[in-house]
A = this chain, B = another copy of it.
């Protein structure tokens, strides 16, 4: 007898579902993350998934978080150029050389037609990371390393956004040198 149809503890099912979603996402990419396949892989009912996740994008995103358990940190050594370069280089390497790059790109792509995913992505991923960088930039400004009128949000777009651009359009390569260049070119004009 297989398992019966009665209910299992919610958290147990949740865990298996997210495992399955993350596995599919990392293994076969976004198109493989369907309610159908995730439910089948997790041995759960599709009904259950519909109850907890509003869209396949939201499910995929949560599966991604569940799989990578990323730590959120922005080391502050006191040298903003060095910190930005190291952060940006780490980011470029992550999305440029690991599976994560393609996955993040697909999530952003899917988010264009999936409002639930877009919202979840902003709230749970991009916003916190932006904030960390903005705070670091503000601290640098307060330390006198950056001009007083620096627009920290725009700086984030000019560094990370530039990388996302290359990640999403892919008509120019995403290299360490590129990361370094971004910081160098931008900070030249931002020093007091």
Contact = CB atoms under 8 A, between A and B. Distances in A.
Interface stretch (A8-16, A62-70, A184-192): A184-192
Contacts of A189: 184-191
A164 B158 contact: no
Interface string A129-170: 010000000000000000000110111011111111110111
B121 A169 contact: yes
A142 to B, nearest CB: 18
A98 interface: no
A166 B165 CA distance: 10
B122 A112 contact: no
Chain A's interface size range is 35 or more
B162 A158 contact: yes
Interface of A: 29-31, 105-106, 108-113, 118, 121-122, 126-127, 130, 150-151, 153-155, 157-166, 168-172, 178, 181-182, 184-191
Nearest to A166: B157
A106 B110 CA distance: 9
B109 A169 contact: no
Contacts of A169: 108, 121-122, 126, 164
Given A164-B165, A188-B189, 15 more contacts: A30-B112, A105-B112, A106-B113, A109-B113, A121-B169, A127-B171, A151-B181, A153-B172, A157-B162, A161-B163, A161-B164, A185-B186, A187-B189, A188-B190, A189-B189
